[in-house]
Every structure is written in C-alpha cells, then in structure tokens.
Amino acid sequence: MKKKNTPATKGDLLIVDDKIDNLRLLFTTLSQEGYEVRRVLSGKQALKVIEFEPPDLILLDIKMPDIDGYEVCTLLKKNEKTAEIPVIFLSALSEAIDKVKAFEVGGIDYITKPFQLSEVLARIENQLKIKRLQKTIQEQNHTLQELNHDLEALVEARTQELKQKNQKLIEYQDKLSEALAKEKEISKFKSNIIRIINHEFRTPLTIIFASVELLERAINKLDREQQARVFTRIIEAVRQLKYLFEEVLFFDKEKIEKLNLEVQSLDLIAFCRNLVREFDSRDRSPTIKFECERDFGQVKWNEKLLRQILANLLSNAIKFSPENSERTFTILGEANQVKFIVKDRGIGIPHSDRERMFESFYRGSNVGNIGGTGLGLSIVKKCVDLYRGQIECHSEVGVGTEFIVTLPISQPVWDNPKLESSNSNSISHST
C-alpha cells in the first residue's frame, strides 16, 4: 500500500512497462527524486492496481503483450474513479507512436525511449503541478459554491426578515394613519359640535332666558293669554333644544353601531299620523298633508330607526320651505316593501350639493340663515342603510324636493352593525 503524500513525498507514480530494465531505471531515478513509485509489467495488472488504489500519475508503455497502452488508457478514462488520472505514454524511438490516437484516448503527454531523465522529471513534475492546480481550483470552486449557497441562504433569511419588518412597518403606518385619521375625525366632530352649540343652541337658550326673565319681572302684569304665549315660547325653545341634543347624540357613530336593533309590533299608519301631529302641533295651522293608500295593520319594525328617518325628512320639509306652503307625506305599499314619500315646495337642493348631501355636518350652499346641524340627512342615510333600504332624491332649486325611502315591510335582515361605507347603489339623485 502506498504511503500518504507528505512534504517529503512529491507524488504517487505508477509505471507500466513490460521491459524490466525500463522499470528499474525509472523506479530508481524517480524514487531518488522523492516520488512514491509503484511498477507493474502488464496492462491487466495495471488496471487491477489502479482500481484498488489510484496513483497521482501513470507512465504507460504503448507496446505490451496483453493489452496495449491505448486500450488501458481508454478503459481508465471510461471509469469515473480513474478518469482524472494523468497518463504519460512511453514509446521507443524506433516505434511509430500514433500521437493523434494517444491524445484521443486521453493521454496528456508522451516520452520516447531511451529516456532523457531530465525530460522525464520535467514532464512528470509539469503534469503533477497541473493536476495540483486543477485540484486547487476544484476545491476553491467547491468552497465558492458552498460560500455562495451560504450567502444565498443568508440573503434569503435576511430578505424574509426585512419583508417581515417591512410588513410590520406597513401595519404600524396603517394603524398610525388610521389613528391620525380617527383623531382628525374626532377633532372635526368636536369643532362641528362647538359650532352647532354656538349657533344653533344660542337662539332657543336666548328665548328661554328672555321668557323666564319676563315672567320673573312681570308675571303678575301679564294676563292668561300673554302668559300662555310666553310659556309656549319656552316649550318650543326647550323642544328645539331637545331635538338638537337628540340629533347630535344619535349621530354618535358608536351609539348607532350599538343600537338595539330588535323589532316590535307597530301600527304603521297610527305611528305616522302621530308623528305628523307632533309637527302640526308646533303651528296653529296644519303644516303637513298626510296620505296613505291602505291600512298596513301591525308590522314588525324598529320604531327608533323609523322615527329618525321620517322625523328628519319631515323636519327638513318644513324648515326649507315657505310657511303655509304645501308639504305632503305619502305612504305607498308594494309587494314586500313600503315607500315613504316626503315632498315640499321649498328652496330645493343645488345639483352641485347632491354628492355631498348625506355627509355629516354638510349643509347646502343655498340654505342661507336657515338653522340646522347638517346631521339630519346623514342620520337618515345611516338608518336606511341599517334597514337595508333605499333612498332617492328628486329636487330642483326654487321648485322643491322629494325624498323617497323604500324599506322592507317584513322583519328586516340587518346589515352588519359595524357601519362601513354607505352603499352607493342605495342612493339615487335626480332633478
């Protein structure tokens, strides 16, 4: 068995030659030069030795009795285990070497006999150096491949880490944007509430204070009719304040989302007549003409939502139309739904305001000094959406406005109480 290559051993060589003198000469010379040398006399022996323990380089005679050097080299190159071993052919000067064939079967060089030992050593050292360099390159390539693989794995891991951090950053930014938007919405809501309190609450409070002061100073000087008028002004002012408070409080989105949406039996016609009477009682003469084509009897509805829808529409019809002008409230029954139609002969809604008329706190560009919170239609829209109904608006400036609300007559299937955006398909505008 050969010795392991050490700094004192320059390489493991195998000499294949049927001439004992050639073997002896090469063995002695190469051994003295520091090589580990093995030798065999035939091609068949060479194949067995090489298969068992491959050398670093083979010196292979071409002319041999059993298998010639060409065939031995061909077999070696077909074997994956021995294919990379460099082969230098040996040939007598008197023999005609087929150089082309020698290189075709896998030889890398050839040496002619009689040997020039310096040439033999130079050719052997040159091929071993090439082999060492190839091995070094292969090892370096393998190392580079491993490093590249590790780098790719590291890059992939880092990329995934960055993606996760980026996703968390995006989520954080979304939450921050949402919080900022919420804060902005709250700030805007507060500002609008302050504006409403400053403008809309001031008038009824002024009436109440003035009337109370009048009663305090001159109650004994006022006759019954005068006292009644003062008390009526106070009652109307308190009623107006109550309406404003209810409108602002009902608009609170969280309150709307937490509404108890249970339904109860309701006499629809009686409910609507009573609602109209409430508005009529605020004036000595009737202000709303109520019409209904048939009696619906008891229906299953949520009274609070229905009141918000109809009361806001009726209030707007009175508020935005001239005194004693015609206002009608009509109920039409269809297969599984009811249409509530509120129509006035008032100022109308400009076309430029149609897209925003259901926005919170938005007021039409032509309302002038007519009071209001800008919440009425927004509340109506939210309630209609909760009821899975539809609302239509037909209006012309200076002619009047008609709102048509269509609601299911049977017990409704509620929308998700977590209100999202309004369904644009439930709104219809026309002139």
For 70-114, how does the pLDDT look when each residue is reduced to its tens digit (9 = 90+)? 999 999 999 999 999 999 998 875 566 678 888 899 999 988 888
* CB 320, CB 346: distance < 8 Å: yes
How many domains in the chain? 3
For residue 101, the enclosing domain spans 12-138
Give the C-alpha separation, 95 to 88, whole Å: 16
pTM of the model: 0.49
Domain boundary among 251, 271, 287: 251
Q: What are the two backbone dihedrals, phi and then psi, of residue 292, each rounded to the nearest 5 degrees?
A: -145, 130
**Per-residue confidence (pLDDT) for residue 251, from 0 to 100:** 58
Do residue 234 and residue 340 come from a single domain? no
Q: Are residues 329 and 381 in the same domain?
A: yes
CA distances from 351 to 141, 364, 429 (A): 76, 10, 9
Residue pLDDT, tens place only, 230-261: 777 787 767 666 666 666 666 555 455 555 56
Let me know whether 123 and 207 are in one domain.
Answer: no
pLDDT tens per residue across span 308-332: 889 889 888 888 888 878 899 999 9
Residues 374, 239 share a domain: no
Structural domain includes residue 154: no
Considering the chain, what is the average pLDDT of its residues? Answer: 80
Mean pLDDT confidence for 182-195: 64
Pair 242, 284 in one domain: no
- Residue indicated by tokens 């229905």: 306
pLDDT at 186 over 70: no
Name the percent of the chain lying above pLDDT 70.
79
Q: What is the pLDDT of residue 102?
A: 87
Cβ contact 384:399 at 8 Å: no
Question: pLDDT-derived band of residue 191, with 50, 70 and 90 as boundaries?
Answer: low
